[in-house]
Amino acid sequence: MSGRVRPSEELLRIGLRPVPSEANFMIVGLPEGVDSDGFTEELVSRGVIVRSLKGLAGFSVEFFRVTVAPERRIEYSSRLARVLQGQRSAER
């Protein structure tokens, strides 16, 4: 779990809501108004293994699951931040 502390803190800092987990994936909530479909499509185009949780019982449209190898967690956090910034810019 210690390997997740820094990336989780980074995700919180940029407005995402990571759900605590000890698996090799993280469930992450998006800020209000950002739809997970467009967000996850952009991540896939950048080589991130991700799945929108839209339509699954217990999850709202703004949650997604990202598979993250322990040694790549910080790199993936940076990719998530760049995509989120792009999504927010597109909304304006």
Residue-wise pLDDT tens digits, 57-82: 887 778 989 887 666 666 777 777 78
Alpha-carbon distance 39 to 50, whole Å? Answer: 10
CATH number at residue 12: 3.90.1150.10
Helix (H, G, I), strand (E, B) or coil at 52: strand
Phi, psi (rounded to 5 degrees) for 29: -95, 140
Query: Nearest CA to 79 among 62, 67, 91, 92?
Result: 67
Alpha carbon distance 40, 61 (integer Å): 11
Task: For residue 18, give its domain range.
Answer: 2-91
pLDDT in tens, 45-60: 888 888 888 888 887 7
- For the cut 70, the answer to whether the pLDDT of residue 3 exceeds it is no
Token couple for 46: 């950048």
Q: Indicate the number of domains in the chain.
A: 1
**DSSP class of residue 77?**
H
